[in-house]
Amino acid sequence: MSGVSDERFRILILNGPNLNLLGRREPSVYGAATLADIERDCRVQAEQWGVELDFFQSNHEGVLVDRIGAAYGEEDLIIINPAALTHTSIALRDALLGVGIPVIEVHLSNIYRREPFRHHSYIADIAIGQMSGFGALGYRLAIEAGVYHLKNQGTR
Ligand code: CA2
């Protein structure tokens, strides 16, 4: 919201490596929706909640770190599906901590029902909360939860 009181909340949705492949392979794990479908749905949802939306995907950890840095002072909330970087990236964690913007973590699949290496997230304990296992609906739920959080800040 950065200052002016009648500005709308701004939410940044970040997507990590290989999520650009959604809908093309492994539909039994990740669903049939493409990332473009998810973005379209998120934009409808954001409009309904009256928030501004930025939507971004990269296959590169450093590009995601840079995008998080650029969000400082611009975005009120970050929703992130870090994809495989969930389980490996201290750099993403540090970037999110560095900007101090509230975070919601999203996963299409239920990472706790999958291989043990997917059970640990470097983001979970610095996030407000996590949606895992609801497919593309998780993004929509995260927007609703994010708006709720922004309107009730301090009640985490
Ligand atoms: O369930 C999720 O959303 C994940 O973040 C997806 C990641 C995975 O590494 C995480 O453990 C859980 C994988 C994203 C790659 O998505 C693909 C989609 C279609 C084909 C290949 C990969």
All domains of the chain, ordered by start, with CATH? 10-153 (3.40.50.9100)
Residue of 86, 89, 110, 114 best suited for mutating to test ligand 1, as the one with most atoms within 8 Å of CB? 86
Q: Is the CB of 58 under 6 A from ligand 1?
A: no
Q: What is the pLDDT of residues 27-75, one digit of tens each?
A: 888 989 999 999 999 999 999 999 999 999 999 999 999 999 999 999 9
pLDDT tens, position by position, 72-90:
999 999 999 999 999 999 9
Q: Is the pLDDT of residue 145 over 60?
A: yes
Intra-chain end-to-end CA distance of the chain, in Å: 19
Q: What is the largest CA-CA distance in the chain?
A: 46
| pLDDT at 156 (0 to 100) | 46
Share of the chain above pLDDT 70, in %: 94
- What is residue 6's predicted lDDT score, i.e. its pLDDT? 61
- Ligand 1 contact via 12 beta carbon (within 6 Å): no
Alpha-carbon Rg for the chain, nearest whole angstrom, is 15
Mutate which of 18, 37, 117, 137 for ligand 1 pocket (most atoms within 8 A of beta carbon) = 18
Answer yes or no: is the C-beta of 22 below 6 A from any ligand 1 atom. Answer: yes
Atom of ligand 1 nearest to the CA of 87: 11
Main-chain phi, psi angles of 115, to 5 degrees: -60, 145
pTM above 0.85, yes or no: yes
